[in-house]
Amino acid sequence: MPQAPDSVRALAAAYTCGHCNSNTARLAQAEDGMWHIGIEHDDGCPVLNGTVSDIHDTLRALRRSA
């Protein structure tokens, strides 16, 4: 499998869930070439079950990784 681009790895390294404090668990590339950053949230995390959006954590990670 090809290695993720620097920008994707930097974003993954900077991501932390604001609710359960989980970090990136894995990176995977889909067949269409899009990279996906998998987060291993704790059981019951409101982000994991969709109660709360992860957009704020994603934006914080983008700012940290820039």
Q: Note whether 54 and 36 are within 8 A (CB).
A: no
Least distance from Zn ion to the Cβ atom of residue 42, Å:
6
Residue 45 interacting with Zn ion (CB under 5 A): yes
Chain CA centroid to CA 34, Å: 13
Contact range with Zn ion by CB under 5 A, out of 7-15, 24-32, 45-53, 55-63 = 45-53
Residue 17 interacting with Zn ion (CB under 5 A): yes
Summarize as ranges the residues that interact with Zn ion (CB under 5 A).
17, 19-20, 22, 41, 45, 47
